[in-house]
Amino acid sequence: MEKQMPHDIFSGNLSEYHGVEKKRLILSLLITSITMMVELVGGLITNSIALISDAGHMFTHCFAIGTGLVAIVVARKPPCHHRTFGLYRAEILAAFINGLFLLCVSVLIIYEAILRIIYPLEIISYQMMLIGIIGLIVNIISVFILKDSSKDDLNIKGVFYHMIADTASSIGILGAAIVISFTGWNIIDPLISIGISFIILYWAWNVLKDSTRILLEMAPNGLDTDIIKSDVKKKFPEIKELFNAHLWVVSSNIYVFSAYARLDDEYDPRGQERLISKINEYLYKEYNITESTIQVSSKYSVPSCRKPSIHGD
């Protein structure tokens, strides 16, 4: 089916937040929260820093899922005269804060793990193994709950990858519990927790990097103004030059582009409006640019503004 331009540019993007996805997020949040508390209490009882670190990891998942749910509500508030882009950036700001929080959690877990290596404690491996199995089962369930929705929704895709990482850490905890039960090597526990922390650090770095790019109004990954200018000039030969081009991201999958276009001197100015409409539609279909503003400049154009005088005259 051919991709159609949205009638309401920003409100049209709310269609990606479907009721089914919201219910799946709520269900995933519920089971993740319960498992987080089980792992936290179990880690304190069994002296397992790996379980406690995984509980911390699950807390970051709860925060990420909660952020996604809040973003669904906040993003529904329509743009107005002083919020011309709406509140889509609230999601990105929350992701940035989440990334910073992840860094702090990771550093704390690594610090505690090092202390456990220096001052080891006895690990109750069988209880640790049981709780690790529970965590693994819950993570697998969450992965299957979010699997289908992660294909189309970027927010859920982020949570989905979060759950994949947590499933891997649960496998690590379970493996550590088995090794400790047979060998008594308690040092395996803090080593596993350090490994989990590096998973959290990797995810935190990606969150901070992506959210910072959006907050600083950089171009989206894999796309820039040079690519667009070259492609548009090939597609529309009547355009001789595109300059003062800007490309930035308002929020996930909401791209905005603006530029000045200098047309061929022989181009009939009566066709400018139709040409701009074609360019806008092409940018939307090819690059998912939700809003594009093209200012046409040709020999027929009348200057719309002039450079302001320094002295105000």
Q: Find the CATH number of the domain harbouring 176.
A: 1.20.1510.10
- Among 157, 192, 215, the domain boundary falls at 215
Counting Cα atoms < 13 Å in the Cβ hemisphere of 313 gives 1
**Are both 200 and 77 inside the same structural domain?**
yes
The rounded distance, in Å, linking the Cα atoms of 258 and 217 is: 13
**Are both 230 and 189 inside the same structural domain?**
no
Would you state the pLDDT for residue 84? 60
194: DSSP letter: H
Structure confidence at residue 14 as a pLDDT band (50, 70, 90): very low
Query: Which spans in the chain are helix H?
Result: 19-46, 49-74, 89-118, 125-147, 154-183, 188-215, 225-235, 272-287
Structure confidence at residue 120 as a pLDDT band (50, 70, 90): confident
| Average pLDDT over every residue of 264-269 | 77
Interior/surface letters 146-168, b for 16+ CB within 10 angstroms, e for the rest: beebbeebebbebbbebbebbbe
- Among 215, 241, 272, the domain boundary falls at 215
Query: How are the residues of the chain apportioned to helix, strand and coil, as percentages rounded to the nearest 5?
Result: 65, 10, 25
* Higher-confidence position of 281 and 308: 281
Least confident of 3-7, 209-213, 224-228: 3-7
**Are both 237 and 150 inside the same structural domain?**
no
Would you state the pLDDT for residue 158? 61
| Average pLDDT over every residue of 174-203 | 81
Structure confidence at residue 305 as a pLDDT band (50, 70, 90): very low
**Are both 187 and 43 inside the same structural domain?**
yes
Q: Is residue 311 a part of any domain in this protein? A: no
**Are both 34 and 143 inside the same structural domain?**
yes
The rounded distance, in Å, linking the Cα atoms of 199 and 207 is: 13
| Average pLDDT over every residue of 170-197 | 81
Q: What predicted TM-score, i.e. pTM, was given to this entire model?
A: 0.67
| Average pLDDT over every residue of 132-137 | 79
* Higher-confidence position of 98 and 197: 197
**Are both 89 and 168 inside the same structural domain?**
yes
- Among 151, 183, 215, the domain boundary falls at 215
**Are both 209 and 290 inside the same structural domain?**
no
CATH assignment at residue 280 = 3.30.70.1350
Q: Which of 294, 301, 264 is nearest to 278 (CA)?
A: 294
Q: What percent of the chain has pLDDT over 90?
A: 6
**Are both 189 and 246 inside the same structural domain?**
no
Structure confidence at residue 77 as a pLDDT band (50, 70, 90): low
H/E stretch holding 253: none
Cα 194 to chain centroid distance, Å, stands at: 25
Q: Is residue 103 a part of any domain in this protein? A: yes
| Average pLDDT over every residue of 167-177 | 77
Q: Is residue 146 a part of any domain in this protein? A: yes
Tokens of 215: 């907050």
Range of the domain at 52: 11-215
Q: Is residue 210 a part of any domain in this protein? A: yes
Would you state the pLDDT for residue 283? 93
The rounded distance, in Å, linking the Cα atoms of 246 and 248 is: 7
* Higher-confidence position of 203 and 294: 294
As a whole number of angstroms, the longest Cα–Cα distance in the chain is: 87
Q: Is residue 305 a part of any domain in this protein? A: no
Give the DSSP letter string of 265-297. TTS-GGGHHHHHHHHHHHHHHHH-EEEEEEEEE
**Are both 165 and 283 inside the same structural domain?**
no
Average pLDDT over all residues of the chain: 75
Would you state the pLDDT for residue 165? 67
Q: Does residue 95 contact residue 58 with C-beta atoms inside 8 Å?
A: no
Q: Is residue 145 a part of any domain in this protein? A: yes
Q: How many residues does the chain have?
A: 313
- The total number of structural domains that make up the chain: 2
Would you state the pLDDT for residue 302? 46
Q: Is residue 310 a part of any domain in this protein? A: no
The rounded distance, in Å, linking the Cα atoms of 276 and 262 is: 12
**Are both 265 and 155 inside the same structural domain?**
no
Tokens of 156: 């859920």
**Are both 258 and 160 inside the same structural domain?**
no
Q: Which of 142, 141, 168, 140 is nearest to 50 (CA)?
A: 168
**Are both 208 and 255 inside the same structural domain?**
no
Would you state the pLDDT for residue 162? 65
Q: Is residue 267 a part of any domain in this protein? A: yes
Q: Does residue 159 contact residue 68 with C-beta atoms inside 8 Å?
A: yes
